[in-house]
């Protein structure tokens, strides 16, 4: 596979056109009477039209056929996806899941959509406020199927196996130790090369942002220029059996058929795009004197709530770093009690082992003494005779 090209920058106003169609982007206006190459102009909105300019999100797409050229959507089985948090009783205990087993392709073919499993969530999907956490497992590519989410943005974290993601804006290759964000309303299809597993953080009603840096200054944590946006790429492909478009809407799945590939955007411009980020580029900030900084210092992306300083969700990483704090217990404070308990148990076990060894040694010594006494008695008896 040839190396993919990207545009760098977070939230930038970008423009791109497929080199096979030079001049596909209209100049000086968004919606000309006749677009170059007779393309159709569409605007994809990521915010209300009247949002302040700093938070206004939209992109203009110039495509071979309109995105609405499909048959009616019909309800389909939603598998392991849910949005009803009342189905399970709440549990205040700390829980961890063992790694989900990836089905073998020889037994059952599972693509990205079929392999979605909801773990937990909060808030209300209908009022556009809250989040959900999913795991995905897949062993086969999506083929002539694509997916888009009408409920919120998806932050995808591959844990095993790399993902080749086709979007309306272009292609992205996302590997473990990288993340990508597919924003609300963007169609995508995923090709896999092996058995693949990963996590998804879904947020409703807001978009992911870079955290404020405060006294850190102008540079640090995830730098905007390290975020990569795909360049325009299209396919003008008829699909005889029909191309399936799957939509997640208010927590339910719906599917519609169309005759062509949806990835027919020849050119685009705007600031509402998918993007990816390599976590190795994260500039770690930490204590260099004593104690531990709070874990919020490792925030890569945040989804802010209405309350200042309070997030709906933060995506935080704990990357490799030097720990140089003086007179400070090395693991962060949250783990302190657990670590101590484990150490005490180990010490008790060691003490028990030592006691057992001492008892065994004493028994051996007693046996040796008894044997010596018996030998001495026998010698005395012989002498008397």
pLDDT tens for 124-143 read: 999 999 999 999 999 999 99
Q: Which residue has the higher pLDDT, 93 or 226?
A: 226
83 is catalytic: no
Residue 330 to residues 90, 216, 292, 311, 324, Cα–Cα distance (Å): 33, 23, 9, 28, 9
Q: In which band, very low, low, confident or very high, does the pLDDT at 2 lie, cut at 50, 70 and 90?
A: confident
Residues 187/168, Cβ–Cβ less than 8 Å:
yes
pLDDT digits (tens, 9 = 90+) for 32-63: 999 999 999 999 999 999 999 999 999 999 99
Alpha carbon distance 5, 33 (integer Å): 31
Whether the pLDDT of residue 339 is over 50: the answer is no
Buried b (16+ CB within 10 A) or exposed e, 355-379: eeeeeeeeeeeeeeeeeeeeeeeee
* pLDDT above 80 (res 343): no
- Mean pLDDT across the chain: 90
Quote the CA–CA distance of 138 and 140 in Å, as a whole number. Answer: 6
Separation CA 260–CA 307 (nearest Å): 44
Residues 185-199 pLDDT 10s: 999 999 999 999 999
Q: Which residues contact 172 (CB under 8 A, 6 or more apart)?
A: 4, 6, 164, 165, 180, 228, 230, 274, 276
* 8 Å CB contact between 6 and 231: yes
Segment 11-35 mean pLDDT: 96
The CATH topology of domain 70-260+275-281 is: Jelly Rolls (2.60.120)
pTM of the model: 0.84
Q: For residue 91, name the pLDDT band (cuts at 50, 70, 90).
A: confident
- Does the pLDDT at position 321 exceed 70? yes
Question: 155 near 315, Cβ under 8 Å?
Answer: yes
* 3-class secondary-structure state, position 385: coil
pLDDT at 330: 81
d(CA 142, CA 196): 13
Residue 335 assigned as binding residue = yes
Residues in the chain: 385
Question: Residue 328's Cα: distance from chain center in Å?
Answer: 32
Percent of the chain whose pLDDT exceeds 90:
74
- Phi first, then psi, for residue 52 (nearest 5°) are -55, 150
* Alpha carbon distance 72, 210 (integer Å): 38
CA atoms of 219 and 111, how far apart (whole Å):
39
> How does pLDDT run across 94-118, given as a tens digit for each residue?
888 888 999 998 899 999 999 999 9
Residue 346 pLDDT greater than 60, yes or no:
no
pLDDT digits (tens, 9 = 90+) for 267-306: 999 999 999 999 999 999 999 999 888 999 999 999 999 9
- Domain extent listing, the chain: 70-260+275-281, 335-384
pLDDT at 332: 76
């Amino acid at each position: 596979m040839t190396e993919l090209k990207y545009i760098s920058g977070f939230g930038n106003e970008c423009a791109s056109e497929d080199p096979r169609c030079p001049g596909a982007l209209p100049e000086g206006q968004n919606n000309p009477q006749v677009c170059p190459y007779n393309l159709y102009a569409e605007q994809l909105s990521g915010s209300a039209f009247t949002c302040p300019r700093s938070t206004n999100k939209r992109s203009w797409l110039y495509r071979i056929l309109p995105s609405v050229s499909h048959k009616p959507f019909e309800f389909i089985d939603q598998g392991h996806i849910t949005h009803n948090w009342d189905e399970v009783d709440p549990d205040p205990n700390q829980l961890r899941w063992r790694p989900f087993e990836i089905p073998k392709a020889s037994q059952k073919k599972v693509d990205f959509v079929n392999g979605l499993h909801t773990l937990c969530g909060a808030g209300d999907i209908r009022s556009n406020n809250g989040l959900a956490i999913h795991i995905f497992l897949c062993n086969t590519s999506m083929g002539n199927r694509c997916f888009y989410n009408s409920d919120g943005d998806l932050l995808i974290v591959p844990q095993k196996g790399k993902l080749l993601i086709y979007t309306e804006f272009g292609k992205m290759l996302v590997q473990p130790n990288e993340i990508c964000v597919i924003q609300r309303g963007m169609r995508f299809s995923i090709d896999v090369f092996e058995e693949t597993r990963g996590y998804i953080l879904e947020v409703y009603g807001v978009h992911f942002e870079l955290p404020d840096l405060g006294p850190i200054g102008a540079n640090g944590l995830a730098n905007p220029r390290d975020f990569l946006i795909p360049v325009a790429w299209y396919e003008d492909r008829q699909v005889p059996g029909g191309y399936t478009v799957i939509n997640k809407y208010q927590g339910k799945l719906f599917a519609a058929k169309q005759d062509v590939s949806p990835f027919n955007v020849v050119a685009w411009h705007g600031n509402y795009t998918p993007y990816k980020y390599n976590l190795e580029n994260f500039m770690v900030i930490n204590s260099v004197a004593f104690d531990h900084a709070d874990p919020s210092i490792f925030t890569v992306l945040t989804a802010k709530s209405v309350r200042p300083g309070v997030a709906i969700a933060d995506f935080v990483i704990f990357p490799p770093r030097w720990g140089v704090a003086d007179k400070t217990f090395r693991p962060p404070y949250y783990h302190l009690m657990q670590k101590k308990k484990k150490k005490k148990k180990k010490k008790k076990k060691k003490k028990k082992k030592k006691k057992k060894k001492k008892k065994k040694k004493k028994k051996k010594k007693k046996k040796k003494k008894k044997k010596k006494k018996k030998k001495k008695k026998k010698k005395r008896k012989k002498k008397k005779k």
